[in-house]
Amino acid sequence: MLPFAFKKLIYYGYKKGMMRMFGCVFCQIAAREKPSTILYEDEQCIVFQDVNPKAPVHVLVVPRKHIPSLNENMPQDNALLGHLLAVAAHMAKEKGIEGTGYRIVINTNAEAGQTVFHLHLHVMGGRIMRWPPG
């Protein structure tokens, strides 16, 4: 019998390999395998410009860990989610939109318009936002 820790290693290695195989675009950006305009990074997350911006400021805050959506968030990732929000607020300050206002969006699954299944926060601002969003 293989020890549990060893099995876990094989499982996560397999999962990571599968992600690569199916080409998660945000994992590729985080691994510098795909170019992007990176604005910030730390050990837990990476921030880059959205390739198809929907506002004058539109950046994506992306955890390095591959979590497909908020639905797959585990209790052990709660601190990571808090960190992502703090980084989003930091980016709003960096972009000078903290005073005028900004919106943080997490699209989850098809009807919300999620197209990349690697959890990410959109930080958008620099124009007047409508409510409710379409």
- The pair of three-digit structure tokens given for residue 133, joined into one six-digit string: 């969003």
Q: Catalytic residues, which ones? A: 120
Furthest C-alpha separation in the chain: 60
Q: Which of 108, 101, 110, 109 is nearest to 129 (CA)?
A: 101
- The pair of three-digit structure tokens given for residue 1, joined into one six-digit string: 């019998």
Q: Is position 51 an interface residue for ligand 5GP (rule: CB under 6 A)? A: yes
Q: Is position 17 an interface residue for ligand 5GP (rule: CB under 6 A)? A: no
Q: Is position 116 an interface residue for ligand 5GP (rule: CB under 6 A)? A: yes
**Alpha-carbon span 71 to 51, nearest angstrom:** 25
| Least gap, CB of 122 to ligand 5GP (angstroms) | 6
Residues between 55 and 114 that touch ligand 5GP (CB under 6 A): 60, 107, 113-114
Side by side, the strands of the sheet bearing 45-49 are 38-41, 45-49, 57-63, 121-125, 102-105
Cα angle 27, 113, 123 (rounded to 5 degrees) comes to: 65
Q: Which residues bind Zn ion (CB under 5 A)?
A: 24, 26-27, 66, 118
Q: Which is nearer to ligand 5GP, 50 or 94 (CB)?
A: 50
| Least gap, CB of 66 to Zn ion (angstroms) | 4
Q: Is position 36 an interface residue for ligand 5GP (rule: CB under 6 A)? A: yes
What residues line the site for ligand 5GP (CB under 6 A)? 25, 36, 48-52, 60, 107, 113-116
